């Protein structure tokens, strides 16, 4: 992975792999159910064992998101969420807790905002970088340059169907970690984390990855522990979003604490 710039995310993941069995990365959409509550929920995650925050920017065409996250992002958009509110959320989260915050966004909003302007504003807000699920490295030249210029991480996705060439590209372009998608298709908590994830992480290691985290379908401490047997981090989204929707900030914090037990199992 790119080593030109020091990575706060990679450092946090490495530290948790030294202290425990690995890192827990928690996803929440900015602006759900409203902007202030989404900030409070992210802070609660940080205070209950989550090591890196993945803050999603609500988008009108969330092609990779499952029903729980789609409903949450649509609610945020309906309540008036605008892209600039994402920078506000990052700023307010990082002012309260010392935790890396990665923004997860589809690429079109970044293009419309302006790649360099987006990088500048995210860095100014205290953000750690971007997860870009629909951007492949060979189409991300502008983002690679902008992220190097301001010192932001960039996380690319790898899937079980990815060719060896694509995996090597993702490894070389990523900084922070490579996001291993455990299941083909959309996000959502699943009873079993696919065995394909273990094979994919092995292939990424062979391609040179030093930090790989697995997401899509993780919803219990036992699954976190299972993933951390072979990966550096476990990424949880739908289970935390559902907790926030069902029981507010307190429930999101409780579920985060329960999931975090998997890092010490």
Helix axes of 67-78 and 238-260: crossing angle, nearest 10 degrees: 110
Return all residues near 12 (Cβ < 8 A) that are at least 6 apart.
23, 51, 52, 99, 100
Active-site position among 40, 51, 54, 232:
54
Instruction: Tell me the three state secondary structure of residue 172.
Output: helix
Return all residues near 18 (Cβ < 8 A) that are at least 6 apart.
none
Q: Alpha helices of 79-220 — where are they, by DSSP H?
A: 83-96, 107-113, 115-124, 141-150, 164-173, 196-206
First to last CA, the chain: 28
Query: What gap in Å lies between CA 28 and CA 74, rounded to an integer?
Result: 13
> Do 173 and 144 form a contact (C-beta atoms < 8 A)?
yes
139 flagged as catalytic: no
Radius of gyration for the alpha carbons in the chain, expressed in angstroms and rounded: 16
Active-site position among 11, 34, 51, 65:
65
Tokens in use for 26? 């928690």
Q: Alpha helices of the chain — where are they, by DSSP H?
A: 8-19, 35-47, 67-78, 83-96, 107-113, 115-124, 141-150, 164-173, 196-206, 221-227, 238-260
65 flagged as catalytic: yes
Closest CA to 13 of 129, 177, 172, 156: 177
Considering all CA atoms of the chain, what is the largest pairwise distance in Å, rounded to the nearest integer? 45
The catalytic residue positions are 54, 65
């Amino acid at each position: 992975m790119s080593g030109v710039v020091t990575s706060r995310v990679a450092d946090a993941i490495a530290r948790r792999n030294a202290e425990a069995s690995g890192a827990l990365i928690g996803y929440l959409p900015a602006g759900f159910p409203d902007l202030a509550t989404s900030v409070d929920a992210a802070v609660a995650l940080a205070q209950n064992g989550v090591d890196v925050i993945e803050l999603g920017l609500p988008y009108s065409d969330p092609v990779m998101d499952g029903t729980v996250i789609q409903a949450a992002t649509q609610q945020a958009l309906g309540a008036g969420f605008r892209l600039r509110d994402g920078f506000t959320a990052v700023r307010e989260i990082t002012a309260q807790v010392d935790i890396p915050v990665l923004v997860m966004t589809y690429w079109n909003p970044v293009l419309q905002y302006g790649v360099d302007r987006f990088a500048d504003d995210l860095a100014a807000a205290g953000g750690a970088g971007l997860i870009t699920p629909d951007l492949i490295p060979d189409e991300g030249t502008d983002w690679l340059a902008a992220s190097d210029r301001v010192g932001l991480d960039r996380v690319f996705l790898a899937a079980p169907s990815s060719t060896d060439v694509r995996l090597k590209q993702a490894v070389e372009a990523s900084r922070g970690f490579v996001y291993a998608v455990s299941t083909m298709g959309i996000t959502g908590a699943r009873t079993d984390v696919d065995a394909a994830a273990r094979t994919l992480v092995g292939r990424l290691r062979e391609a040179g990855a030093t930090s790989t985290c697995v997401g899509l379908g993780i919803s219990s401490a036992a699954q976190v522990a299972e993933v951390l047997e072979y990966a550096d981090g476990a990424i949880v989204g739908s289970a935390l979003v559902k907790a926030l929707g069902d029981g507010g900030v307190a429930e999101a914090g409780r579920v985060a604490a329960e999931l975090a037990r998997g890092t010490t199992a």
